Amino acid sequence: MSYEQLTYETEDRVAILTLNRPERMNALSKRLVEEIKAAIAAADADPEIRVLIVTGAGDKAFSAGYDIKESAEAPKRGLAEWRARMQQDIAFTYTPWDCSKPVIAMINGFCLAGALEFAQCCDIRYCADDARFGVVETRFANGIATLMMPWILGNRCRELIYTGDMFGAEEAHRLGLVDRVFPKAELRAETLKIAKRMARVALDCLKYNKRAINQSFEIMGLRSAIQYGSEICAVMDAVGSPEAAEFDRLRRAEGLAAALKWRDAQFRPFE
């Protein structure tokens, strides 16, 4: 497959997938989602690859999440359409989880909303010291398609989800969301060093250990819980709210910048 919005390179048993829409903060367009799924499948099938790294082009963002400009142009959906959309989103965010090989999210800059869901489904997360995270979809009065955060942070996820606050690399590390924080200039080199060290381990050993770890979570009900969360998300998005309706009206009538300005003004007095 040829890629338009993603670059794919290999280096010493490691596949490096780079989301390549820096002008849009690597927002997850429909095309980019399909390319990520295809690239992970290709690396998973390649016997020469043992570890995957996913990162974002440029120095501003790993990814800002799903492309809300693209979604603003879509027709309004009912419950059935929202359910179908949530299943598509889950299938995408499960891609690194279901890959038989370890997948590392190498996070530079912003990692928000749907991109944060995707990163949380990766096996390991390393970030630059300037990284910023946020479950910002709650500030759009939207649900969370793949509610992975409780499985990583436990009860500490509540404040982050309820407020939609953004937080930095050190806080992400303190909470356990990321495994290591590196100076921005050293992120790629340090991540590759660990990935190549990991790639010295026998491929079958990596794959069976990943399978066993994933199974531990799945026996505890991870997939059932996430499926329930996706149903709640579909209902929330279909039923709507006054806040969601006003945001949608503004972005369709006056543009995304006006809608974001209105949204941010609701929270500014309490930041």
Domain locations along the chain: 6-240
- 218 among known catalytic residues: no
Please say if 231 is a catalytic residue. Answer: no
What is the predicted pLDDT for the residue at 96? 98
pLDDT score, position 142: 83
CATH 3.30.930.10 matches 6-240 = no
Q: Which helix (H) or strand (E) holds 253?
A: helix 242-253
Whole-prediction pTM value?
A: 0.94
Q: Which pLDDT does position 72 carry in this prediction? A: 59
Residue whose C-alpha is closest to residue 34's, from 82, 84, 83, 95:
95
* CA dist., res. 254 & res. 259, Å (int): 7
Q: Please give, one letter per residue, the 3-state secondary structure of 202-242.
A: CHHHHHHHHHHHHHHHHHCCHHHHHHHHHHHHHHHHHHCCH
Catalytic residue among 23, 34, 70, 137: 137
How many whole angstroms from its chain centre is CA 198? 23
One digit per residue, pLDDT tens: the chain, 271 residues?
789 999 999 999 999 999 999 999 999 999 999 999 999 999 999 999 999 999 999 999 999 999 987 765 566 778 888 888 889 999 999 999 999 999 999 999 999 999 999 999 999 999 999 999 999 999 988 889 899 999 999 999 999 999 999 999 999 999 999 999 999 999 999 999 999 999 999 999 999 999 999 999 999 999 999 999 999 988 888 888 999 889 888 988 898 889 889 999 999 999 8
Picking from 232, 210, 229, the residue whose alpha carbon sits closest to that of residue 221 is: 229
Q: What is the per-residue pLDDT for 73?
A: 59
Please tell me which residue in 11, 70, 73, 117 is annotated as part of the active site. 117
